[in-house]
Structure formats: structure tokens, C-alpha cells
């Protein structure tokens, strides 16, 4: 700890995955929900799944539409009206496209978070929707398990009924 902030240590895994340029001077930190707290808002874990790129910021007067492109393999985990975290800022997704998604940012969030620094081409750290990741993982593993059954195993299972 120092007089005007704090230091962190990042593993090589984190350094390899993160858009490190976003950790110069300011970061966005929210306190974690404690067990027993009232459950509300977004459910996020603080992990980074991938790096995205801001492709457009459109000023709508009382809000901003921010379009972010990400690797196509992560699109299934971006859910309309679901949770997403951009550089530690927990948000709601508005629209999902083939390789990108749209957020609507209110002026307060634009002014008080790292969003004020973003421009076209900015790289951002993304945590996709936790529930979408979990459901996808469970389904993928159930399908693998089901497809690996032998006829002997099927016979053994049916013989139990």
C-alpha cells in the first residue's frame, strides 16, 4: 500500500489475457457481494474472458451507445438484457450482433468510469454473462457424456428400470 493508492501483482496468465494499457492510473473496483446480502443487480465474478474493441461511440444526448467487437467464440455468452462487465464496470447488454454488442451508457457512468477514456479502437477487458457460460458448459459436457455411452452401458441403465 502506498499513500495515494495500492499496488497489485498480476500472474503471467493475467498479463497474457488482459488489455494492460487500461491499468494505468485508474481502475474500476466494486465491493463484492457478501453471502447473506440482498441479491440484486448484476451477477459478475471479476474474471476476464477476452479482450474486445470499441468500434463506435454514439452520443444520443442523454446517453451513449457503445459498440464493442469481441472474438466470435464469445458471442454465445453475451445475452441481450444480460450482464456483462467491461473493465470492471458491470452493465446490461442491449443488442447482440454476429461479432459485437451494444451497450447504452448514461452520462454519470460515462463520466465516473473508464468509459470516459474510450474511443474507437480502445481495447477493453470483458467478462461475459456468467449464467450463459455455466449453462453452455453444462450442456456441452452432458452431450459429451451422452455421446460416449456404449450399448452395454445403455443396456445396464435400462435394466435398472
User: pLDDT, tens digit, for every residue of 54-91?
Assistant: 999 999 999 999 999 999 999 999 999 988 999 888 89
CA 71 → CA 47, 52, 64, 119, 139, distances in Å?
A: 16, 7, 23, 19, 21
**What residue has cell string 446517453?**
63
What span, in angstroms and rounded, lies between the C-alpha atoms of 95 and 122?
20
Task: Give me 125's grid cell.
Answer: 477487458
Q: How many residues does the chain have?
A: 161
Q: State yes or no: pLDDT of 145 exceeds 70.
A: no
pTM of structure: 0.77
| Lowest mean pLDDT, pick from 19-23, 104-108, 134-138 | 19-23
Residue 94, pLDDT score = 95
Domain 42-159 class, CATH top level:
mainly beta
What's the start-to-end Cα distance of the chain, in Å?
A: 63
What span, in angstroms and rounded, lies between the C-alpha atoms of 109 and 43?
18
Kindly report the backbone phi and psi dihedral angles of residue 150, in degrees, each rounded to the nearest multiple of 5, phi listed first: -90, 165
Beta bridge partners of 101: 68, 96
CA-atom Rg of the chain in angstroms? 20
So where are the chain's domains? Answer: 42-159
What span, in angstroms and rounded, lies between the C-alpha atoms of 65 and 59?
7
Q: State yes or no: pLDDT of 156 exceeds 80.
A: no
User: pLDDT, tens digit, for every residue of 27-58?
Assistant: 776 666 777 877 666 666 667 889 999 999 99
Amino acid at each position: 500500500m502506498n499513500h495515494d493508492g495500492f499496488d497489485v501483482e498480476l500472474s503471467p496468465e493475467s498479463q497474457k489475457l488482459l488489455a494492460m494499457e487500461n491499468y494505468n492510473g485508474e481502475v474500476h473496483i466494486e465491493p463484492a457481494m457478501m453471502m447473506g446480502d440482498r441479491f440484486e443487480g448484476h451477477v459478475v465474478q471479476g474474471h476476464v474472458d477476452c479482450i474486445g474493441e470499441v468500434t463506435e461511440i454514439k452520443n444520443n444526448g442523454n446517453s451513449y451507445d457503445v459498440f464493442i467487437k469481441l472474438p466470435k467464440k464469445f458471442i454465445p455468452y453475451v445475452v441481450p438484457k444480460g450482464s456483462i462487465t467491461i473493465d470492471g464496470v458491470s452493465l446490461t447488454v442491449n443488442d447482440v450482433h454476429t461479432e459485437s454488442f451494444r451497450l447504452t451508457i448514461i452520462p454519470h457512468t460515462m463520466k465516473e468510469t473508464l468509459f470516459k477514456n474510450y474511443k474507437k479502437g480502445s481495447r477493453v477487458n470483458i467478462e461475459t454473462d456468467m449464467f450463459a457460460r455455466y449453462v453452455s458448459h453444462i450442456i456441452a459436457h452432458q452431450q459429451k457424456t451422452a455421446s460416449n455411452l456404449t450399448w452395454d452401458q445403455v443396456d445396464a441403465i435400462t435394466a435398472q428400470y
